[in-house]
Amino acid sequence: MARIAYHDADAEAFAATRHLTDDGLTAWRAAVTRHLTPRPGMRLLDLGAGTGAWARAFTDWFPGVEVIAVEPSAAMRARCAFAPLVAGDAGHIPLTDDSVDGVWLSTVVHHVPDLAAAAYELRRVLRPGAPVLIRSAFAGRHEAITLFDYFPEAIRVLDTYPGIADVEAAFAAAGFATAAVEQVPQVTAPSLREAAAGLRREAHTPLQLITDAEYAAGVQRLREAARTQTGPVVDALDLLVLR
């Protein structure tokens, strides 16, 4: 069970507001390239692929790499513009043993109820030595994410997510070791004004799990700041690479 339902309203808001532009993802493209070493014929699993933004980006960026998207929510799958897309989750991946050369999990690990079981399942489907790339906001790591400047109460939600050390420990039991941890920047919005105008509470787990009053106060703070602040909204999430 994910922290939020990922039913129609969440899926619709996610598809409408959470896809980043290719220009904003330059550093992510470089980081994934560095750790995955993409090559034609490689099979990459996008686990918890959501509405398919990353699966599509990888297909564009890495010609000849076969991307397989797996997603548990029917509402997310219904809005996913990527194929092949199959139902499944981190505990039940519908792929055979030793069949993929890398796994991508973007903002998924905090929804996985049993990370240790997921690590064993990933060990099963991955070829030996292949990497797991985890993009996430981890507990204790709110500083580089703009949303938390305006919704500080949402930090208490983030701090219930797994921390980097928690994920490392769960994966260590299945034989994975940390290969890298780095913060990777992205352009989340062209301006704070556009970020404020496009904000949808349903698209952000930490905003769904604060109170209505806390959310309303944050929206007020964000709108006020957006009146004067110029320049793009640049955030950084973490990339944890395990092999």
Ligand X SMILES: C[S@@+](CC[C@H](N)C(=O)[O-])C[C@H]1O[C@@H](n2cnc3c(N)ncnc32)[C@H](O)[C@@H]1O
- Annotate 180-199 with DSSP letters as a single string: EEEEEEEEEES-HHHHHHH-
- Helical segments of the chain, H only: 8-17, 26-36, 53-61, 74-78, 115-125, 147-150, 155-158, 164-172, 192-198, 205-208, 212-228
Whether 135 and 164 have beta carbons less than 8 Å apart is answered as no
Q: Does 53 bind ligand X (CB under 6 A)?
A: yes
117 or 217: CB nearest ligand X:
117
Overall residue count recorded for the chain in this entry:
243
* DSSP 3-state of 237: strand
Q: Which of 12, 32, 45, 48 binds ligand X (CB under 6 A)?
A: 48
Tokens of 188: 């989340």
2 or 187: CB nearest ligand X:
2
Q: In this chain, which residue has its C-beta nearest to ligand X? A: 50
x/- contact string, 63-102, with ligand X (CB under 6 A)? --------xxx--x------------xx------------
Q: Does 108 bind ligand X (CB under 6 A)?
A: yes
73 or 186: CB nearest ligand X:
73
42 or 55: CB nearest ligand X:
55
- Binding residues for ligand X, rule: CB under 6 A, are 2, 6, 47-50, 53-54, 71-73, 76, 89-90, 106-108, 111-112
